[in-house]
């Protein structure tokens, strides 16, 4: 796994520098495809990661957000990548975007590398060996009396607004990328991330391993384990917190909210 860590970090560090340069040069043209913002940079980033991975690890297939994959039997070992997560933030000139990859074995990630180039932050996790941020070990926990919620916007909206009040949050943090929001819980910057929309395996594989190896908790909003098999899209969303006890509290609250809506 050591070699995979080395070339995974090298690939994302180089790509991160390119993504920042493209942003500075305003090469940010794109279009909305449903709820996803697509830019030419996504495709260029995809081509860079896949070519570098195939050169470094030619026997391992690559599945990417930017390349069609028909749901079905996945390889027993493969790379799952999201070349730019938080493309809309990147295109808007904001900092909350990452590039990420996960080495999948069976139905779970075994290695995760996530790089946030605007912050010069590299998250790495290996199953059973912990998680780090720029080489420092992560060990997430919620400080007494604090409960910081994290979501996309400058202020809580939608489910985040409901959660901010219903869960008695004490603070709020904004971040664009789904993966970065989970990592912010893992590194102790935030305490709760809840999202009640479709999420996709390439968004969640790497950050789920980071937060789990940091001692936090990650699951579907039903409380079920997030399993990386079958469809690449998952409903009804996810929860990431610093502990299972806190996740259980969030999931119970969410269940009560949905029950109230159906009555």
Topology of domain 148-262, CATH: D-Maltodextrin-Binding Protein; domain 2 (3.40.190)
Question: Each residue of 165-180: pLDDT tens digit?
Answer: 999 999 999 999 999 9
Work out the average pLDDT over 231-235: 89
Q: Provide the pLDDT confidence category of residue 261 given band limits of 50, 70 and 90.
A: low
- The predicted pLDDT at position 164 comes to 97
**262 or 106, which is more confident?**
106
Q: Provide the pLDDT confidence category of residue 225 given band limits of 50, 70 and 90.
A: very high
**231 or 125, which is more confident?**
125
pTM: 0.94
Q: Provide the pLDDT confidence category of residue 259 given band limits of 50, 70 and 90.
A: confident
- The predicted pLDDT at position 1 comes to 81
Domain boundaries, the chain: 2-137, 148-262
Question: Each residue of 21-76: pLDDT tens digit?
Answer: 999 988 777 766 665 666 789 899 999 999 999 999 999 999 998 887 765 679 99
Work out the average pLDDT over 231-254: 94
For CA atoms 160, 161, 162, 165, give the dihedral sign.
positive
**2-137: which CATH architecture?**
2-Layer Sandwich (3.30)
- The predicted pLDDT at position 32 comes to 63
The per-residue pLDDT of the chain, averaged, comes to 92
What's the rounded Cα separation, in Å, for the pair 154 and 202? 25
Does the fold of domain 148-262 match that of domain 2-137? Answer: no
Cβ proximity of 113 and 124 under 8 Å = yes
Work out the average pLDDT over 237-255: 95
């Amino acid at each position: 796994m050591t070699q995979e860590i080395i070339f995974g970090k090298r690939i994302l560090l180089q790509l991160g520098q390119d993504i920042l340069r493209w942003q500075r040069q305003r090469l940010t043209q794109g279009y909305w495809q449903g709820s996803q913002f697509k830019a030419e940079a996504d495709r260029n980033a995809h081509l860079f990661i896949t070519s570098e991975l195939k050169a470094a690890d030619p026997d391992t297939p690559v599945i990417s957000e930017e390349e069609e994959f028909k749901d079905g039997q996945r390889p027993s070992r493969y790379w799952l990548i999201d070349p730019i997560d938080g493309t809309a933030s990147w295109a808007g000139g904001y900092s909350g975007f990452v590039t990420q990859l996960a080495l999948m074995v069976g139905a779970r990630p075994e290695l995760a590398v996530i790089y946030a180039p605007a912050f010069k932050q590299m998250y790495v996790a290996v199953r059973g060996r912990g998680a780090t941020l720029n080489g420092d070990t992560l060990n997430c926990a919620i400080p007494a009396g604090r409960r910081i919620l994290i979501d996309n916007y400058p202020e809580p909206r939608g489910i985040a607004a409901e959660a901010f009040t219903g869960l008695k949050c004490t603070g709020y943090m904004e971040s664009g990328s789904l993966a970065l929001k989970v990592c912010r819980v893992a590194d102790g910057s935030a305490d709760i991330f809840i999202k009640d929309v479709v999420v996709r395996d390439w968004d969640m594989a790497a950050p789920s391993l980071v937060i789990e190896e940091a001692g936090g908790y990650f699951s579907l909003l039903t409380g079920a384990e997030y399993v990386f098999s079958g469809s690449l899209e998952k409903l009804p969303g996810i929860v990431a917190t610093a502990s299972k006890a806190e996740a259980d509290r969030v999931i119970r609250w969410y269940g009560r909210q949905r029950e109230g809506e159906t009555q």
